[in-house]
Amino acid sequence: MPELPEVETIRAQLQPLLQGSLIVSAWSFGTPKFEQAEHAAGYRVIDLRRRGKYLLVGLADATVSPSTVASTDEVTRDLDRELVIHLGMTGKLSIDSRPGGSSPSKISAAFASRTRPPHRRAEWLLDDGRVLEFTDIRRFGRIAIVEPGGYFELPTLHALGPEPFSDEFTPELLRNAIRSSNQGAKALLMSQRVVAGLGNIYVDEALWLAGVHPKATNITRQRAVELRDAIREVLESGIRNGGTTLRDYRDASGATGSNQHQLNCYGQAGLPCVRCGTQMKKSVIGGRSTTHCPLCQRRR
Ligand SMILES: [Zn+2]
């Protein structure tokens, strides 16, 4: 499943390709999880942001000129709508750069009569004829159009904890959350409520790096600092390496990431710990396969 580094990689790729473009038409697979994609038609793309594992496409009225968009910064941004895209397990975004015709009417006609592959869930036609495509084999993804910042329809996004690189994500917040939770560190980090963007891969990596047991319900102040730093470190590594591809993940250009070659814990069960040589152990926590080192990550 795409986690923060994978979504951030896609966001950074698509931002320069989409910013300023007018969405002239849209198509959806027609089921409730994807049909709101069609409401993006008639809006101009202002910017692409990310919250946790969600991609947020900022939209403004079509009358906003593209030159204004190019100079719009964070502070003066004025959005009319947001297109929210969650990739779920197998969601992929890509751009078909071949214009479907030479005139606006030909481009629109070509879009309307397009042959779509079986797992295509949404498409957005841009004013220059390019098409942004969303494909999702397993259909755990989600597309929504909301008022800027109005995420009530999307409970996980609405209740999302702070971004891991923000000042609000402090060791104290992390420690208090672990101590007041009976589910243990791993389940808590997976919940998105204390920090946004982590999933199974990067949680296992961060807990291993900081030496925290996946079921820990108490950690020292010092270890909370180490865990906060470890979370940032594994995510930074993921972003630097263009994401982790184990099976499905591809970036917006269709390429695999390379962070899978940097993993020290996830998927290493039965192998010796690269830090201490102890055999890495597999378990199931909250229904998710979990790997940890029994020596480096003792329950204290
Ligand atoms: Zn170890």
The CATH number given to whatever domain includes residue 214 is: 1.10.8.50
Which range marks the domain in which residue 118 is found?
4-158
Residues 50 and 90 in one domain: yes
User: 265-270: long-range contacts (C-beta < 8 A, 24 or more apart)?
Assistant: 265/204, 265/205, 265/207, 265/208, 265/209, 265/291, 265/292, 265/293, 266/200, 266/201, 266/204, 266/205, 266/291, 267/291
Neighbour count for residue 147 (Cβ, 10 Å) = 11
Check if 186 is active-site: no
Query: What six digits make up the tokens of 235?
Result: 């995510």
Confidence of residue 75 (pLDDT cuts 50, 70, 90): very low
Residues 142 and 178 in one domain: no
Tens-place pLDDT, residues 88-145 = 999 999 999 987 888 999 999 999 999 999 999 999 999 999 999 999 999 999 999 9
Residues 131 and 17 in one domain: yes
Residue 68: HSE in the Cβ half-sphere, 13 Å Cα cutoff: 13
8 Å CB contact between 120 and 29: yes
**Closest CA relative to residue 17, chosen from 136, 142, 124:** 124
Residues 195 and 152 in one domain: no
Res 71 pLDDT > 70: no
Instruction: Indicate the range of 57-66, 199-208, 229-238, 277-286 predicted with least confidence.
Output: 57-66
- The reported pLDDT for the residue numbered 76 is 47
**CATH code of the domain covering residue 117:** 3.20.190.10
Res 162 pLDDT > 80: yes
2, 5, 164, 214: the catalytic one is: 2
Confidence of residue 159 (pLDDT cuts 50, 70, 90): very high
Res 244 pLDDT > 80: yes
Asked, for residue 222, whether it belongs to a domain, the answer is: yes
Residues 21 and 147 in one domain: yes
Residues 222 and 268 in one domain: yes
Residues 139 and 184 in one domain: no
Chosen domain end from 127, 158, 189: 158
Residues 216 and 123 in one domain: no
- Overall domain count for the chain: 2
Asked, for residue 298, whether it belongs to a domain, the answer is: no
Quote the ligand 1 centre to 274 CA distance (angstroms).
7
11, 44, 50, 53: the catalytic one is: 53
193, 275, 288, 294: the catalytic one is: 288
Quote the ligand 1 centre to 269 CA distance (angstroms).
12
pTM of the model: 0.95
Res 241 pLDDT > 60: yes
Residues 126 and 262 in one domain: no
Residues 82 and 215 in one domain: no
Check if 164 is active-site: no
Between CA 91 and CA 60 the distance in angstroms is 25
- The reported pLDDT for the residue numbered 73 is 55
